[in-house]
């Protein structure tokens, strides 16, 4: 890491990115109090660069103090994910937290899987999930969706540099995807499921790299 004000954290499942920041902020406060000092607002400033969904695990970059001002620089980095797509079922949120609905009994063969994955390599157009942090008319899309309001998010062009097939044992398709900033793996799961004619949702997700930073470099702040 290039700065003592950058922490690399392995986010646990069930935690929000905000939860991670809150825990680290609490530890910073306690450390100062134990030294008999009162921390300043700047010293308690904690932010993250690149949200991870609660069900997901893996690399979260946490910024401290003045480093928070550079969050946009980190958001633009490419990312690597390990993911499991569950075929034959769809989810209202694209992940295990939504309502799951059986969509198809079709069990595609390995050759069909490989052919479809090739279609999603390179520059592709995708629509972010309704349950996402994308802003729609100044409001977070997920808040509108939770209120039962119709959410229309413009599609965007993203780049999928590679999708490596790790294993396939129907209904579970395990992949490693190297993608550009702005790519939603949940949307990728849904689009691949649609192309296969099976439907799909992202049942497991782990981020292992952001730009030059790797999950192997994480700190022990959450332990």
**Is 169 domain-assigned?**
yes
**Is 1 domain-assigned?**
no
DSSP string, 27-89: HHHHHHHHTT-PPPTTTT-EEEES---TT-EEEEEEEEGGGGGGHHHHHTS-EEEEEEEEETE
**Is 178 domain-assigned?**
yes
Question: Any idea which residues carry the catalytic annotation?
Answer: 53
Q: How do residues 152-204 score in pLDDT, each as one tens digit?
A: 667 889 999 999 999 999 999 999 999 999 899 999 999 999 999 999 999 99
Query: Which pairing describes strands 6-11 and 135-136: parallel, antiparallel, or unpaired?
Result: unpaired
CATH number reported for the structural domain that contains residue 96 in this entry:
3.30.2350.10
In 3D, which of 121, 133, 126 has the Cα closest to residue 18?
A: 133
* Predicted TM-score (pTM) above 0.85: yes
Q: How do residues 121-164 score in pLDDT, each as one tens digit?
A: 999 999 887 665 555 555 555 554 465 556 666 788 999 999 99
Evaluated on CA atoms 180, 181, 182, 188, the torsion sign reads: positive
Q: Which of 62-66, 76-80, 152-156 has the lowest mean pLDDT?
A: 152-156
Q: How do residues 92-101 score in pLDDT, each as one tens digit?
A: 989 999 999 9
Higher pLDDT, 124 or 75: 124
**Is 223 domain-assigned?**
no
Range of the domain at 128: 79-210
Tally of structural domains, the chain: 2
Q: Indicate whether 199 and 95 sit together in one domain.
A: yes
């Amino acid at each position: 890491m290039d700065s003592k004000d950058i922490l690399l954290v392995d986010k646990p499942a069930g935690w929000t990115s905000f939860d991670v920041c809150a825990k680290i902020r609490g530890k910073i406060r306690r450390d100062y109090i134990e030294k008999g000092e009162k921390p300043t607002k700047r010293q308690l400033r904690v932010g993250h660069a690149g949200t991870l969904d609660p069900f997901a695990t893996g690399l979260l970059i946490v910024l401290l103090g003045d480093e928070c001002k550079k969050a946009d620089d980190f958001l633009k980095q490419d990312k690597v994910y390990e993911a499991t797509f569950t075929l034959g079922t769809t989810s209202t949120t694209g992940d295990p937290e939504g309502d799951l609905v059986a969509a198809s009994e079709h069990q595609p063969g390995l050759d069909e899987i490989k052919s479809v994955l090739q279609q999603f390599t390179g520059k592709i157009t995708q629509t972010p999930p309704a349950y996402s942090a994308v802003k729609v008319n100044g409001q977070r899309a997920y808040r509108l969706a939770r209120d039962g309001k119709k959410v229309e998010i413009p599609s965007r062009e993203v780049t999928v540099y590679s999708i490596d097939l790790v294993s396939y044992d129907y209904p579970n398709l395990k992949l490693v995807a190297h993608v550009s900033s702005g790519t939603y793996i949940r949307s990728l799961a849904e689009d691949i499921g649609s192309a296969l004619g099976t439907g799909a949702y992202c049942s497991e997700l782990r981020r292992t790299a952001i730009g030059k930073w790797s999950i192997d470099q994480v700190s022990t702040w959450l332990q």
